[in-house]
Structure 1
Amino acid sequence: MPQLEDTKCSFLFCLGISIFICSVIYLKATGFDTPRAQSHLFTRRSFPQQCQVLGHSRNETAKWQSAQCHLDGYSSTSTLNCSYLWSNCRFINQTLSKEEEEYPLAFVITIHKELETFARLLRAIYAPQNVYCIHVDQKATLGYRKSVELLTGCFHNVFIATQSEKVTYGGFSRLQADINCMRDLLKSSVHWRKVINLCGQDFPIQSNLELVRYMQSKEWRDRNMTPGVKQPQDKHYRTEFRYEARGSYMTKLSYKKGPPPQNLQIYFGTAYYSLTREFVEFALESSIARDLLEWSEDTFSPDEHYWVTLNHLTDAPGSHIYGGWEGNIRAIKWRDQEGTEHNGCKGHYIREICIYGIDDIPWVISKQSMFANKFESETFPEALDCLEQWHRVKVLRQAAVPIQPGWHLAEVVDTCQHWNRTAGQTNNPLCTR
């Protein structure tokens, strides 16, 4: 009997150890939903010295650090601790003024890469009274899409487009992606006033309050903003010939297209816009808009002629039939404008557009456009750090409500205290006076 009791005790002891080990493994596997497991979501990064827009601390040993919010690496999880995201990734969760509350905006954001850049863009433009449709390219990886789904799932007014396109540069799919989001936005419970389109590598220069005031200014209160002019002769190739997507590029075919439907005059402009809700309904429902859309399916970059052409129709709500390049929508450094519109790209050019470096930021800010394009967090993170902090400071200064401590993106860290704490010492010679 004593031997049996010993065997029983040994069995129970082993069983207890097994349960403990299994519990530890389970908690590690499912621990993403706990604040400790999500600590990798939030980090701090020191600001570069060139970032003059931050000003200087009176303490010479103090250093500014920015709050960084990372989503990479969490695509394999099924949940995200939204409370932790809200508090540590510094989203503003309150409408900051009555003006903004009474004039909600809609945003179409098309993305396929640069997850951190997109997250920072959303953090900069997010406001609870607005609504945001995110179009995730079919070419994006499953992990990327899963990360976006986790992020958008934490917001009542941010959602992924119900229909996704495989976007080809210069192709019809880019226009179709915007239209897909517009259909979803019209079904939203948010009665937005105007819609603005963005890509994931844009970043705001104006605050949400400034956007609202710009949209309601005398020039644009009841108008759509689609900068462009009658199609120049050197752009006729885009609509005279047929194109088709081959791989990642559009290929011009050898035969020409027929004339535009209903004798439309084709215009040429930017792919970026600000459109009234009534105009969007017109673009989705009118026969002339449907005819132009169908005719545009095999043209090159139809998003650069579709909206601006419709906006020059007399019957289109909010049309600007005598409009040209008016509308300060984007600050962009084009390579062919170097020496005239700007003093060169301090980052590098991709497809003739500057990817901004930190020394481009003073020029970007000086343009006072609605948004700037383009940024890459991985290539030039300091440029976005500086612009993001400058933008958030402006947003908070304009707020008509009490500022919450968690809304600040930057904080001052005393480097001596940090060194002493991490090194376990108090006699750093660099910190003694």
Structure 2
Amino acid sequence: TIRMLRQRRLFMKLSLVLGSLWIYVLLDHPKAAWDPTYRLMYGWLEYTDDDGGPVKVCNCSAILDGEREAREQAKLLTITKDFHKSVQIPDEYYINATQDCRNFKRSRKYLTFPLSQEEEDFPLAYSIVVHHKNFERLLRAIYAPQHFYCIHVDKKSDASVVVYSAWPRVQADLNCIGDLYKISTKWKYFINLCGQDFPLKTNLEIVRMLRSLNGGNSLESERMADAKRSRFSYVHNITNGDIQFTGVLKEPPPFNIQILSGNAYIVVNRGFIRSVLEDKRVLALIEWSKDTYSPDEFLWATIQRLPGVPGSTWPNPKYDMTDMSAIARMVKWVWHEGEEGSEQAVYPECQGDHVRAICVYGAGDLQWLIEQRHLFGNKFDAERDPIAVFCLEKYLRQKALAELR
């Protein structure tokens, strides 16, 4: 479609400015950044009302403090068509603005140098599966020149590229894992994201939380519910862009591996990634998983419990980790929402909308979100609730610069 072609062109333009699409982004940075007087120059990197967007008419500080009046005002604005039109950045802006790379990075206030020695000494590797306009804001929020980025663009045109609940979603990360592992030996941890994720912590906070893992990994890994066992006990095929149950029983997992439950998003050390690429047990498990349903919801969780995998934990249920315990991602599922104090509720009710039973966060969710220990939140959508994204990114930038002071 015309929109798809325009979005493809947009991603290609961004790749020319910020690095290589589908491979990596790495910009040179000035070593002079460590001169204390250099910090006086950081003021221009703050996001202000002059930058436009919802923050010009919303009180982000009051929203983040949980003030009811500010949250209600934000909720009313998000249902106003004129407001949405006034705050959205059109594709044409990116296409035109990226004609001048230097000016684009300056006008969008990208951090083109590390903010601290501690951060420079702890580079990370990111894999991002992109299908959404939120991508540029996400990249800007997590960008630091010492990190490495692999970007996979979901064309949404060819069913074999990325099929929901099928193997191609995992293959996208595997492709990035291989490229990132080869491009550098310096990065310490691997984090995979999708276009509707957004950080809940500054880069310095992320670095310090990863250091505190002491070489461990953080991802959901727990007992598999009986209701989900058919997902990997029977063969599933992709037909006309959908995943189909065939009724054909699969062979048992290789090496008598116990299959565990988890999700698609992980925070793992470099040694874990080496095992994904080289360990014969893991390679056999990957091959075995290719005709299952939602392999991303058991593959990483299972690898995390294999003896000898760096940062792994024992298979014993005592080491089970839920999505609330893992720091990789905060996701609100509709059936776990409820009032505080409810025995059944895991988290408060969504203040935005739901898509496929997952909360698309609204501005009213922000106060609760930034209090959580998770590194990222999912899902954010600047087209549904631009205030949530704009206020969060402004908060994180101000906090990152305040850490210097």
TM value normalised by structure 1: 0.70
When residues 132 and 140 of structure 1 are mapped into structure 2, their CA distance, relative to the original with a 3 A threshold, is: farther
Question: Contact between 1:107 and 1:132, CA under 8 Å: does it hold in 2?
Answer: yes
Report the AA paired with residue 307 of structure 2: T
Match of 1:95 among 92, 101, 114: 114
Please say if 1:45 is aligned against 2:46.
no
Report the AA paired with residue 275 of structure 1: V
Report the AA paired with residue 268 of structure 1: S
The match for 1:207 is 202
When residues 215 and 250 of structure 1 are mapped into structure 2, their CA distance, relative to the original with a 3 A threshold, is: same
TM value normalised by structure 2: 0.74
Please say if 1:129 is aligned against 2:166.
no
When residues 75 and 123 of structure 1 are mapped into structure 2, their CA distance, relative to the original with a 3 A threshold, is: closer
When residues 333 and 136 of structure 1 are mapped into structure 2, their CA distance, relative to the original with a 3 A threshold, is: same
Note the C-alpha offset of 1:75. 7.8
Q: Distance in 2 between matches of 1:337 and 1:213?
A: 30
Alignment of 1:138-287 (within 5 A): 138-139=155-156, 166-189=161-184, 191-217=186-212, 220-287=213-280
Q: Distance in 2 between matches of 1:300 and 1:330?
A: 21
When residues 286 and 369 of structure 1 are mapped into structure 2, their CA distance, relative to the original with a 3 A threshold, is: same
Q: Distance in 1 between matches of 2:129 and 2:256?
A: 32
Note the C-alpha offset of 1:344. 1.6
Match of 2:395 among 370, 390, 396: 390
Q: Distance in 2 between matches of 1:304 and 1:359?
A: 29
Q: Distance in 2 between matches of 1:199 and 1:103?
A: 22
Q: Distance in 1 between matches of 2:390 and 2:177?
A: 31
SS of match in other structure, 1:369: coil
SS of match in other structure, 2:222: strand
The match for 1:335 is 334
- Larger mean CA deviation between 320-329 and 199-208 belongs to 320-329
SS of match in other structure, 1:387: helix
**1:59-103 deviation per Cα after TM superposition (whole angstroms, max 9, x unaligned):** xxxxxxxxx894612687796211111110011111011111111
Question: Contact between 2:353 and 2:359, CA under 8 Å: does it hold in 1?
Answer: yes
Question: Contact between 1:112 and 1:140, CA under 8 Å: does it hold in 2?
Answer: no
Match of 2:124 among 83, 86, 105: 105
Question: Contact between 1:165 and 1:176, CA under 8 Å: does it hold in 2?
Answer: no
SS of match in other structure, 1:134: strand
Q: Distance in 1 between matches of 2:151 and 2:93?
A: 19
Question: Contact between 1:230 and 1:265, CA under 8 Å: does it hold in 2?
Answer: no
The match for 1:309 is 302
Report the AA paired with residue 44 of structure 1: G
Note the C-alpha offset of 1:342. 2.5
Match of 1:366 among 358, 365, 371: 371
Report the AA paired with residue 356 of structure 2: R
SS of match in other structure, 1:135: strand
Q: Distance in 2 between matches of 1:54 and 1:346?
A: 13
SS of match in other structure, 1:173: helix
Question: Contact between 2:129 and 2:172, CA under 8 Å: does it hold in 1?
Answer: yes
Q: Distance in 1 between matches of 2:285 and 2:218?
A: 19
Question: Contact between 1:138 and 1:165, CA under 8 Å: does it hold in 2?
Answer: no
Q: Distance in 1 between matches of 2:157 and 2:121?
A: 36
**Percentage identity across aligned positions?**
38
Q: Distance in 2 between matches of 1:72 and 1:338?
A: 35
Report the AA paired with residue 334 of structure 2: R
When residues 69 and 133 of structure 1 are mapped into structure 2, their CA distance, relative to the original with a 3 A threshold, is: farther
SS of match in other structure, 1:84: helix
Note the C-alpha offset of 1:134. 0.5
Question: Contact between 1:43 and 1:69, CA under 8 Å: does it hold in 2?
Answer: no
What's the Cα RMSD here?
Answer: 2.6
Report the AA paired with residue 367 of structure 2: P
Q: Which has the larger radius of gyration?
A: 1
Q: Distance in 2 between matches of 1:110 and 1:44?
A: 28
Structure 2: state its 5+ residue gaps.
Answer: 1-15, 17-49, 66-86, 339-344
Question: Contact between 1:110 and 1:200, CA under 8 Å: does it hold in 2?
Answer: yes
Question: Contact between 1:293 and 1:306, CA under 8 Å: does it hold in 2?
Answer: yes
Q: Distance in 2 between matches of 1:345 and 1:260?
A: 38
SS of match in other structure, 1:245: strand
**1:173-204 deviation per Cα after TM superposition (whole angstroms, max 9, x unaligned):** 11110000011101224610110010010000
Structure 1: state its 5+ residue gaps.
Answer: 1-32, 34-41, 56-67, 142-163, 401-433
SS of match in other structure, 1:138: coil
**1:273-324 deviation per Cα after TM superposition (whole angstroms, max 9, x unaligned):** 1111121111111211111011100111111111111111112122122532
Question: Contact between 1:69 and 1:89, CA under 8 Å: does it hold in 2?
Answer: no
Count of residue correspondences:
323
Question: Contact between 2:54 and 2:386, CA under 8 Å: does it hold in 1?
Answer: no
Q: Distance in 2 between matches of 1:188 and 1:399?
A: 30
Question: Contact between 1:131 and 1:190, CA under 8 Å: does it hold in 2?
Answer: no
**1:327-372 deviation per Cα after TM superposition (whole angstroms, max 9, x unaligned):** 2222211100111122322211101101111111112112231001
Between structures 1 and 2, the one with greater strand share: 1
